[in-house]
Chain A
Amino acid sequence: MSAYEYDAVVIGGGVSGIMASLTLASKGFKTALVSRGDPVCCLSTGCIDVFSHSDEPLSGIRALLPDHPYSLVGEKGIVDALSFFSEIMEEAGLPYEGDPGRNRKILTPIGSTKCTCLVPRTMAHADMPSNEYLHVISFQGIKDFFPGYITSRHRNSTYSVYDAGVPTTLGIAARFDDASFLDAFITWLRGLEIPHDRVALPAVLGTIDPASVVEKISRAIGRKVFEIPTLPPSIPGLRLFRALKRVMQNRGIHLYWGKEITSVERQGCTVEAVTLATTGRAKRVQGRAFVLATGSFVSGGLFAGRDSVRETVFDLPVFVPVERRDWFNTDFFSGGHSIERAGVRVDRDFRPVESKIDNLFACGSILAECEIMSLQCGHGLAVATGVAAAKSCAQGLS
């Protein structure tokens, strides 16, 4: 059976691949996205780190070397891509807040703060002045969320515990989608007569419309309310992924959620189709152009062998900065292992260099030199490069 031909086929369903396909679809191209399993985004805090290594992301980015992927996108490209992301999230009913010019600090479950840039509206009040008083709400039996960690670090804070009837973050979040559960919770919360300035809860306030849940609670008790992202399974990460997926589907992007790509068909310098394994017969997906967004080591876009690194779909040349024995620092948490710089090198148009393929573009954490862990730029880089690579791809198509 011959396949349907797409204008563009994006490989990899993480933030970068999704933003690339949304960009292509918004320009009128018939787009497909193929992926293997759910992306790391579902494990994340849902917050968009643009460049958390410094307080002002854009000025931090300006100081980067020219071969960093952010430098290839350029400041205007980054700002435009982030505002496109915010528009999408508004449409999806999961509004984000923040300014690429300035980072904010949000509270973590261990009472420390995490520096990030765009946050879901449910975390808008998480950047708290130190002189304010905080009341933390936890849930009976919940795993990996101990309010004592927070209260021991914040002098002006205390906590209470609610019994939601289920102990898991997923279970509690499903309960908050139910209006009668929310009402009962609010009645209990009002009974506490909380005197503190702000109220913080683990990020379990529903899966459908968390911003409204937070607003409803906040109005009922007259306090600023915010969520604290938890360890995986992470509800804000899951919300982000599902919201993006919903918009993709509403905009007519075809999703093939299968297994890995098993073969690539090339005709000279052109890729014509990829075949992905499925549960039964393999599925062939044909396209005029391809965008590679398969992520880094953790997602399997890159694979580290004994002394080399392989790109897993097209077998593209991979840049590896140093010899195997120098891939890692002896101090794991020192920030900055050389292997973080490994990846696929691209030119100004986001075409992989020395690939001998004309209709292929790459974006996201698979790119060389991005140093996501030390620069703290995960989703931000995925958004910016995803949009930029798709724009080049669109130019190539028309």
Chain B
Amino acid sequence: MTTFEHCVRCTLCVENCPVFKVNPAFPGPKQAGPDAQRFRLDGERSVDDWVKLCCQCQRCQVACPYGVNVSEIILKAQLKYSREHMSPFAAHLFANTYHLGKLGSLVSPITNAVTSSGAARKIMGVLGLATNLPMPEYRFLSLNRGRRRKGRRRSSRKVVFFHGCYLGFNRPDIGRGIRDLLSGLGCRVVIPGQTCCGLPALGNGDQEIAKKFARKNARMLVEYIDQGYQVVYACTSCGLTLVHDYPEVLELPEGRKIAENTYNVHELILDLLENDAPDVAFGEVDRTVAYHIPCHLKALGIGYPAAGIFEKIPGLKTMILDDNCCGLAGSYGFKKKNQQTAEKLGTIAASAIKALEPEILISDCGACRMQLGHYTGLPALDPSEVIIASLEKGATKKSRRKRRIS
């Protein structure tokens, strides 16, 4: 395990830090991470309040060629700081996005009206929430309700879909699309009851809540893994939490097992296309798209598997952008003290996208889509939506061809 002592002070992490670029109050990953770590003592109260300005994009850790766990050091310092100091109300609210989401989707028309009405925005300002960013819209029918098994009975692949809060509460339609896509490719898909992965709680300094959520999910996932299921996630931040934070930060005993058996949904699809269902027909999608890589997909280190699927779609021209953080970083950008940082980063990322003149924006992360859809004015889609559109087109073409033959 590489630690702060292996840092050679090359500054490659600093070159990649979005917050350092726009907020002079943040000293950057090298100083906030390995440098300051030498002075952080267990028995001493933290004084580094700026450590909370880090948005945990993990770009520093990906960039470090010496394997220093830069953002993990910073996360642990954030948690230590939060344990020792009272957190503001907004942190508590976001630490509990799951409960917020659950409540939101039960009464979604009301929540949507509340989060967008002028008066509510004023109240949110008082509570420490940024008010000029689009708030997520909650859908009436969340994915968790009406969950069931799908797919062929005798299929060899068994997958358990961890959809997380955003798809569960805000975009269950995308979740259902992914479920149908996987079962269409021959998987047996289950969507069990699940809670928040715990990342929002970690990001807001509440390790206890994070652990509570994580333990519950871990118990459930391991049960499936033991029955031969593969865990699949679509939200790249949930995915990173499962495979990295469960074993490394929350130190769950099941963490390693989960990390070993968890796959990005497009990694799985790509594998199905290569091995199980090679003759699937992709229909033409004549579009130029900008594919904004979420920081946490980059941090997973598995490459960009959805881009590998896009290559198979005729007519689709994909341009990959992986150098910018959208600035929202989960709930980070919704906090008043980070509002300017989030705006500046959103603008920077959006101008890089707009310079390519795409017709559509694609990203795996709901927060990226919300933020960059807002700043670019482009329609923002999940990769699965494009894949499904192409497969639907391919399927109709195929059936028409069949009809003509017979």
Contact = CB atoms under 8 A, between A and B. Distances in A.
A255 interface: yes
Contact of B65 (A4, A233, A300): A300
A257 B62 contact: yes
Most chain A CB neighbours (cut-off 10 Å) among B240, B260, B303, B319? B303
Interface string B344-362: 1001100110010000000
B243 A281 contact: yes
Interface in A1-42: 1-4, 32, 36-39, 42
B263 A177 contact: no
A43 B308 contact: no
Contacts of B263: 1, 281
Interface residues of B, number: 54
A178 to B, nearest CB: 8
B320 A249 contact: yes
A278 B21 CA distance: 26
A44 B14 CA distance: 15
Nearest to B12: A38
A168 B14 CA distance: 11
Given A233-B14, A278-B302, A174 B22 contact: yes
B65 A38 contact: yes
B243 A279 contact: yes
Interface residues of A, number: 46
Most chain A CB neighbours (cut-off 10 Å) among B15, B66, B244, B322? B15
A189 interface: no
Contact of B67 (A166, A238, A260, A281): A260
Contacts of B319: 249-250
Contacts of A281: 243, 259-263
Contacts of B320: 246, 249-250
B241 to A, nearest CB: 10
Contact of B303 (A43, A252, A254, A280): A254
Interface stretch (B141-149, B183-191, B293-301, B375-383): B293-301
Interface string B51-63: 0000000000011
B235 interface: no
A2 B271 contact: yes
Given A177-B348, A208-B352, A208-B355, A4 B308 contact: yes
16 contacts: A1-B271, A3-B271, A37-B12, A37-B66, A38-B16, A38-B63, A38-B65, A170-B21, A171-B21, A178-B351, A233-B14, A254-B307, A257-B298, A278-B301, A280-B242, A280-B302
Query: 10 closest Cβ contacts across the A-B interface?
Result: A280-B243, A37-B65, A278-B301, A258-B301, A280-B259, A249-B320, A233-B15, A256-B303, A38-B63, A279-B244
Interface of B: 10-12, 14-17, 20-22, 24, 62-67, 230, 239-240, 242-244, 259-263, 267-268, 270-271, 274-275, 298-304, 307-308, 311, 319-320, 322-323, 344, 347-348, 351-352, 355
Interface of A: 1-4, 32, 36-39, 42-43, 166-168, 170-171, 174, 177-178, 208, 232-234, 238, 242, 245-246, 249-250, 252, 254-260, 276-281, 283, 299-300
